[in-house]
Structure 1
Amino acid sequence: MCFCGNTQTFEQCCQPFITGVATPKTAEQLMRSRFSAYCTHAGEYILKTYASKTRTEHTVEDILLFAKQVDFVHLDVIQTEQDEQYQYVEFKAAYIEGAVLSALHERSRFIQENGAWLYLDGELYPTDSKKVSRNDPCPCLSGKKFKKCHGK
């Protein structure tokens, strides 16, 4: 199973986008590959998939600082939409920092530049965080207890 939640393996699903072998055909594919890039610390890919208008606001170092500070464990795509100019993807990306489970809930906006979908910006929604106890099921949905999985 890929990091993004698809049933294909990472090598079949998101890795071809991250390595540049393939180009995402939809904003949802791009968003899923960006999630997988955070999981695999592929900061260059994340930076290059920002729209040109906002790319200069970010650095690979800043991206990796966040990616390495947390452990992304689950992605839920809630809804996708499009209009004449943009595609939108609403999602929740669950991550663990220490023993605290949090989520990034966002409605992202994507734009096409030179035939490729790129992340432009997003609207964040408030979420709650909760402490994960050692004997709780791991939030990554592995079926293991937290202490035997991401709680190490």
Structure 2
Amino acid sequence: MNCPCGSRAAFSHCCQPYHLKVKAAPTAEALMRSRYSAFVVADAAYLYDTTHSSKRKGHSKSAYISNAKNTKWLKLEIVFSDFDVVEFKAYYLNKKFQTEVLHEKSNFRLEDGKWYYVDGEFYEQG
């Protein structure tokens, strides 16, 4: 299966090793792509584990799994990527089966050699 992150590589050679903790995402963009893939495959543990500890209080594994299972993700588009910031568009189907876009500029933190999602700024669709 091709990786959901859009890399065109096989999932088993792209994001899955991060999900399985065989290796750590080397960049903020790699972590962002792997988190998108985790939403697609409903890997709540990975989403929780890669959220910075200072931000986990508002997120639970059950909330992640509910969100992941109730959303049909279509594709990921990276708009901009820098050292610790990634702007992306994630396309998904809403309940009326219409395509919508989640457009976010996400902030990441490198801590003890591992990247973590901290927070993000959402852009209005328009």
TM-score in terms of structure 1 length:
0.79
Supply the AA of the counterpart residue of 2:100: S
| Paired positions, count | 124
Contact 1:69 1:97 in 2 (8 A): no
Which structure is richer in relative contact order (CA contacts within 8 A, separation 6 or more)? 2
Partner of 1:112: 110
What is the correspondence of 1:41-52 to structure 2 with a 5 Å cutoff? 41-52=42-53
Q: Can you give the 5+ residue segments of structure 2 that lack an aligned partner in the other structure?
A: none
What is the correspondence of 1:1-150 to structure 2 with a 5 Å cutoff? 1-82=2-83, 87-98=84-95, 99-128=97-126
Give the CA deviation at 1:97.
2.4
SS, match of residue 56 in structure 1: helix
More helix by share: 2
* 4+ aligned runs moved over 4 Å, structure 1: none
Q: Can you give the 5+ residue segments of structure 1 that lack an aligned partner in the other structure?
A: 129-152
SS, match of residue 2 in structure 1: coil
Quick check: which has more Rg, 1 or 2? 1
Q: How many percent of aligned residue pairs carry the same amino acid?
A: 37
SS, match of residue 117 in structure 1: strand
How far apart in 2 are the matches of 1:115 and 1:81? 17
Give the CA deviation at 1:12.
0.5
Partner of 1:136: none
1:86-136 deviations in Å (ceiling 9; x for gaps): x000000001123121111000000012110100000000115xxxxxxxx
